[in-house]
Structures are given as structure tokens and as C-alpha cells.
Amino acid sequence: MSEASNPNYEFQRIIVAVGASLMIMKFIAYFATHSMSVLTDALESIVNVVAGGIGLYALHLSAQPADRSHPFGHGKVEVISASIEGSMISVAGLIILFESFMRLLSPEEVRNIDIGLLLVLFAAAVNYALGRSAVRRGRQTRSIALESSGKHLCADTYSSIGITIGLLAVLATQKMGYQFLWLDPLVAMLFGAIIVLTGCRVVKKAVDDIMEKADRGVLDQIVRCLDDHRSEDWIDIHSLRVIKFGSKMHVEMHTTLPFDMTVEQEEIQKRKLHEAVASLYGESVELIMMPEPCKEFSCIHCSRECASRRAKFVGRMNWTIDSLSQDHQHALRNMVVIDINGDK
């Protein structure tokens, strides 16, 4: 898939373009007000634009098809992009904290607050709408780069709202004839700390993806999907693994099938498993099924008519995340099975 046909790439282009426009607007607001709070918002916008550009390149690269050097595709670059973006968010927050502290030591009067309020509020509304859309689209398409960009925009929105509250407080005190010059940098420090925490969360999620931390939400969806599409030939499933490569998903599982199945019949079951998972996530899923023959202890969970049956059918296995994730067939191998002739 080329970037031109990738909707995530096109959406990220919009984020970068809008971010650059809002950055200019916020710097205009700063020069009009000389507010430290507004300056922190403007400085964060620089990070927004740079990080957005990194995310744009990551989405461009992740859209490239697999090749000999990258047999699983280029989707992991989105994780690298997210980690860089999270780091930049945290650094921006630290810079804001430092600059706010310095302004707290040497406070200045805030001017033209009404103009600053209008510009900051408009930027906050645009950022929030764009950010929520990016997070929603990123989760739907499993694009961590787009989701991180959306979270970045939402963090910018929250800081803008806080800055607006601070400016309103400064304006109110000025109307009453007071000059609480420390109030503006104090609000900026508060939201600088929030920005640092947001960046740390983005980095943590990226590190989890690099370390291939199991996503129990995804695993739960797959387990329920397999159970809904369950075939009587799927006696058991174990060693379920899910690895994400950008928007692509690699699913691997070992499946216990009747021992007398031919290779052709096993291939049919693999196709059924793929169709079941694809009904949930679309054709971006790559599924590898490792067939295993049933054992004697499998009979009590197999409803299929079989001339070699050794025990009566008792009931199907209850599939859960823990049971499908275990590394062996199923925990029943050590159980005593009653033979259909009454022998143990």
C-alpha cells in the first residue's frame, strides 16, 4: 500500500498542516499578551509540528510492502516514532517547567488578555477535535503513530484549557485592581508537569509494544471470536501469540485436530481460522496455524464421530485467555480418562 492510498497517512498530513497554523497563532497570542502561560502553549506547538512530521514519515514508511530485508513489513517504525514523540512531549514539559520557574522569580505584567484568550480557546477547540479523531482512528487501525499524535494533541488541549483558566484568573484580579503576577507562571508550571506525565505515558506504551507486551484486550477479542466461530474439529487451541507490526497483526496458534485428518483437510481448517480472525480485524491479519494430532485424553472434549474413540464425549473445553496462551495442549493430559469400555 502506498502512502497516497493510506488514510492514516492522509490524516497525519492534516495534523501537521493544522499544527503549523495553530503554532503561528499561539505565538501571535504570546507577543500580544507576554503571558508565560501562552508561551508554554506556543513552545509545545513547536513540538507538535516536529513530532507530527516524524509521525508522518513513520506512516509513510510503515505503508511500504514487506521485502527481503523486512519480511514482516515496516510497521514497527510506528513504535519508534511514538517513543520519539513521547520523549519530545516530556522534554517540552520540562522546558516549560524551567521557563515558568524563571518567570516566577521575575514576574511580568500580562497584557491584552482578551485577545490571548480568544486565540488560545480557538486553538484548543481545533486541537481537541483533531486529537480525539486521531486517537479513535489510530485505535481502530492499530496505528500507534497516529494514536500518539492524537494523544499529543489532546495533551495540548488540556494545557490550553488550564492556561485559559489561568488567564481568566489574571484578568479577574486585574479588574479588581490587584496584580498577582505570580499566578500566570504558576499555572504554566502546573500544566508543564501534566505535559511531562503525558509524554511519559506515551513512551511507556511504545516500550511495551517494543517488548511485545501481551495486549489482553486484543487476546480477549480473539478468544471470543474463535469461540463464536468454533468448529467441532477444533478440539483445542494453545500457544496463542499476537504480534503487531504497525496496523498489521501476526497471529500464531497451535491447534489440536483429529489425528486422521489429511494435509488438505488441515489446510481447510487453517483457512476457517483465518476467516474467523479476519472477520474481526480485516485482511491485515496474517495467521499461522500449527496443527497437532489429538491424543487419547482429547476424546472427552471431541464431539466428532470417530472409530478410534477411547472415551465418551463430556463437553467442549472452556476457552479463556490463560488456557489458549499456555504452551502445551491442555491441562488434561494428566487427568484420568474413563475408557468407553469402563477401563481407566
**How many residues are given for the chain?**
344
Q: Are residues 34 and 180 in the same domain?
A: yes
Q: How is residue 321 written as a grid cell? A: 485467555
> What are the tens digits of pLDDT across the range 195-232?
788 788 888 888 877 776 777 888 888 889 888 888 88
Residue 319: pLDDT over 50: yes
pLDDT tens profile 81-96: 778 878 887 887 887 7
Question: For residue 267, what pLDDT is reported?
Answer: 92
Q: Residue 108: what pLDDT?
A: 67
pLDDT band at 178 (very low <50, low <70, confident <90, very high): low
Give the pTM.
Answer: 0.60
Residue 142 has pLDDT above 50, yes or no: yes
Is residue 224 domain-shared with residue 179, that is, in the same domain? Answer: no
Residue 27 to residues 102, 124, 150, 158, 163, Cα–Cα distance (Å): 19, 14, 22, 18, 14
pLDDT reading at 334 higher than 60:
no
Mean pLDDT across the stretch 110-138?
83
Examine the fold and report which residue of 210, 235, 253 is the final residue of a domain before the chain moves on.
Answer: 210
Q: Does 164 share its domain with 313?
A: no
Same-domain status, 169 and 262: no
Highest mean pLDDT of the ranges 6-10, 66-70, 124-128, 142-146: 124-128
Query: If DSSP codes are grouped into helix, strand and coil, which group holds residue 127?
Result: helix
Residue 26, pLDDT above cutoff 50:
yes
Eight-state DSSP code of residue 219: H
Does 259 lie in the same domain as 204?
A: no
Of 185, 210, 235, the residue that ends a domain is: 210
Q: Which residues contact 8 (CB under 8 A, 6 or more apart)?
A: 59, 137, 138, 141, 143, 145, 146, 247
Mean pLDDT of 300-304: 80
Asked, for residue 332, whether it belongs to a domain, the answer is no
pLDDT for the residue 268: 92
Q: Quickly list DSSP for 288-308.
A: EEEEEE--GGGGGG--S--TT
Q: What range does the domain containing 227 cover? A: 216-325
End-of-domain residue from the set 151, 178, 210: 210
pLDDT of 15: 84
- Distance, CA of 56 to CA of 47 (rounded, Å): 14
Please tell me the predicted confidence (pLDDT) of residue 38: 78
More confident residue, 39 or 237: 237
Question: Between vectors from CA 144 to CA 140 and to CA 149, what angle results, nearest 5°?
Answer: 100
Report H helices in the chain. Answer: 7-33, 36-62, 77-105, 113-140, 144-175, 183-210, 216-228, 263-281, 321-325
How many structural domains comprise the chain?
2
Q: Please state the rounded mean pLDDT for residues 253-258.
A: 89
Q: Please, how many CA atoms are within 13 Å of residue 23, restricted to the half-sphere of its CB? A: 16
Same-domain check for residues 204 and 224: no
The percent of residues above 90 in pLDDT, for the chain, comes to 3
Residue 188 and residue 44 share a domain: yes
Residue 197's CATH number:
1.20.1510.10
The crossing angle, in degrees rounded to 10, of helices 77-105 and 144-175 is 20
State the average pLDDT for the chain.
78
Do the domain assignments include residue 344? no
At which residue does the C-alpha cell 513489513 appear? 73
Angle, helices 113-140/7-33, rounded to nearest 10 degrees: 160
Residues 269/234, Cβ–Cβ less than 8 Å:
yes
